[in-house]
Amino acid sequence: MLNTCLKFSCCVTALICTLPLGTAADVVAYHGYAKAIELKNAATRVVLCPEVGGRVLEYSRNGVNVLYLSEADKNWQPGDRPEGSAGRFDIGPEYIVPRRETLWSGQWTPKITGPRSAVLTSQKDLATGVQLVRKFELAADSSHLSCTQTIINVSQNTKEWCHWSRTFAVGKGICVIPLTAENTSPQSRFPNGYVMYEGSERIHMRPEDPQVRRHANVLEIHPTPAHPKLGFDSYEGVIAYAAPNDLLFVKRFQTYPDRVYNEVAGLTISVWYPDREMVELEPIGPREILQPGESASFTEHWYLADLKFPPVGQPLDLPALQTTLGELR
């Protein structure tokens, strides 16, 4: 273990020394994580965690973090049990993929690749037969963070996995899911535009919940629904989340109407909205059929903007949100 840590440290140090002066990528201490990687520009800060799970620990605007970081993560020290809050990524489908601790909470290898970019690479995982590579790049003059996960089949057998993002944002905000536009094919298979998971054994195909409201062609979720896990088959490729700390967190991603989505309900998006300190925002990619040695990538584009959270009892200004969404591209 000592030899591995020394190699890890030397690798990072060597990479830093080759970067030009004035770079906005660096290795920093972040809470108990001694080898976090920081990407930043004038208003946006991104902190990556290669030590546990290849995650994003912070995605902030003007010092305000939109990601939920647990107290256990804030107090983590080397040797503690792995923690897994904040900007998590994964592979699915959820009910098929085996346990994968090597990917989920193992140590990843970091590489700073440019002024505001880095790559994290997992160890090879025997349970799933894959290795994951996550590339992060922050724009020079905006909050745009490109997050690309590549699944590499390192086994001797065909593998069928998909991208599954599991990002924790700060809880009790307002989640908005744009639905596939009317007169656009394919239309939703779900009568009300979404499904509701009732535990792990039942999926309600026609839920009616007062906390999930439809406004024209968007669904608005706030506060906690009767059951927290919701699924969507929208092909708009957008999740918008108005956080209580006055930030708008947006994820954009490509969808593939002509491909198979191999989640149990064929989802392109899932949202987990419990009555807790976090909400989970989950873009889901299509099935990737990978022969030995083959790989597939999926990219999420993250954005942040200021958006005043409405006072209790007042609605979210959806026209203002739509205007801001149009600007975050």
The 10s digit of each residue's pLDDT in 303-328 is 999 999 999 989 999 999 999 999 99
Q: Is the peptide bond before 110 cis (omega within 30 degrees of 0)?
A: no
Whether 267 is in a domain gets the answer yes
- In the chain, what is the greatest distance between 2 CA atoms, to the nearest angstrom? 60
| Side-chain-facing half-sphere of 209: CA atoms under 13 Å | 24
Whether 298 is in a domain gets the answer no
- Which residue, of 116, 140, 165, is where some domain finishes? 165
Judgement on whether residues 12 and 111 belong to the same structural domain of the protein: yes
With a CB cutoff of 8 Å and minimum separation 6, the contacts of 90 are 103, 104, 164, 165, 166
Whether 136 is in a domain gets the answer yes
The domain of 13 spans 2-165
Judgement on whether residues 175 and 142 belong to the same structural domain of the protein: no
pLDDT in tens, the chain (329 residues): 434 444 444 444 444 444 433 447 999 999 999 999 999 999 999 999 999 999 999 999 999 999 999 999 999 999 899 999 999 999 999 999 999 999 999 999 999 999 999 999 999 999 999 999 999 999 999 999 999 999 999 999 999 999 999 999 999 999 999 999 888 889 999 999 999 999 878 999 999 999 999 998 999 999 999 999 999 999 999 999 999 999 999 999 999 999 999 999 999 999 999 999 999 999 999 999 999 999 999 999 999 999 999 999 899 999 999 999 999 98
pLDDT digits 0-9 by tens, 137-158: 999 999 999 999 999 999 999 9
Whether 9 is in a domain gets the answer yes
Whole-model pTM: value is: 0.92
Distance CA 55, CA 40 (A): 16
- Which residue, of 120, 140, 165, is where some domain finishes? 165
Judgement on whether residues 140 and 251 belong to the same structural domain of the protein: no
Judgement on whether residues 125 and 26 belong to the same structural domain of the protein: yes
Whether 293 is in a domain gets the answer no
- What is the per-residue DSSP string for 268-296? SEEEE--SSSEEEEEEBPPPEEE-TT-EE
pLDDT digits 0-9 by tens, 155-197: 999 999 999 999 999 999 999 999 998 888 899 999 999 999 9
Written as one letter, the residue type at 93 is P
- Which residue, of 143, 165, 187, is where some domain finishes? 165
